[in-house]
Chain A
Amino acid sequence: GAGVSQTPSNKVTEKGKYVELRCDPISGHTALYWYRQSLGQGPEFLIYFQGTGAADDSGLPNDRFFAVRPEGSVSTLKIQRTERGDSAVYLCASSRDRGQPQHFGDGTRLSIL
């Protein structure tokens, strides 16, 4: 596709469950980013990948959050033992390289009941 694709678009699960959120970046983009946007707020940085490696994971709130990008393309954000406070829209962005404009997907709306 032409843009960043995120699946699922919506996810509803119960507290304590494990969830995986997927991001397909724009083809050829080496840099990939995850952000989290709470209701009425701006997105907050979570993690940045350059290629396969997590170059900066300083925004991950705690060790329940983990992200991978094993082949340098698709990335998965994983959340263990979900809590109600994890409810938010999780946004993925990619760029041709670090320092280039970031292109965002439409996000996954995660709701923890």
Chain B
Amino acid sequence: QQQVKQSPQSLIVQKGGISIINCAYENTAFDYFPWYQQFPGKGPALLIAIRPDVSEKKEGRFTISFNKSAKQFSLHIMDSQPGDSATYFCAPTLSNYKLTFGKGTLLTVNP
């Protein structure tokens, strides 16, 4: 049973464009919804996270939109840059200790 489904699997965006990655989950007990960014050969790094009592959170060029009824949340990267090229993981969790990672989305931003 796959608890977390991420889409798309890969994404190519032009510099300056908007990147959108989606995550659907099954466990309604999840109470913390982070996105992680991973570069090749490195560990995942927390990018932005949201709790279910708000529907949107923005930090710089990164925005999380959260739809509790649909059990979905998404990552929007505005003004995408080549340096944003990485693999992105959603990792919803209960009480932020057992992260449940999706399979990842490989983002390529062309210059």
Query: Which A residues have a C-beta under 8 Å from some C-beta of B?
Result: 4, 31, 33, 35, 40-45, 48, 55-56, 59, 91, 93, 95, 98-107
Contact = CB atoms under 8 A, between A and B. Distances in A.
Contact of A106 (B41, B100, B103): B41
Nearest to A6: B43
A55 B97 CA distance: 10
Give the interface size class of chain B: 20 to 34
A91 B43 contact: yes
Given A41-B104, A42-B102, A106-B41, A99 B46 contact: no
A103 B46 CA distance: 7
A106 B99 contact: no
Contact of B98 (A41, A48, A107): A48
A40 B104 CA distance: 8
B97 A104 contact: no
A101 B49 contact: yes
Contact of B46 (A31, A56, A91, A101): A101
A104 B100 CA distance: 15
A99 B103 contact: no
Contact of A98 (B42, B49, B96): B96
Contact of B96 (A42, A43, A99): A99
Contacts of A44: 101
A106 to B, nearest CB: 5
B43 A100 contact: no
Nearest to B41: A106
B101 A43 contact: yes
Interface in B67-108: 89, 91, 95-104
B96 A104 contact: no
Contacts of B99: 33, 35, 43, 45, 102
A105 B61 CA distance: 25
18 contacts: A4-B43, A31-B97, A35-B99, A40-B103, A41-B104, A42-B89, A43-B99, A45-B98, A48-B97, A48-B98, A55-B97, A95-B96, A102-B46, A102-B96, A102-B99, A103-B46, A104-B44, A105-B43
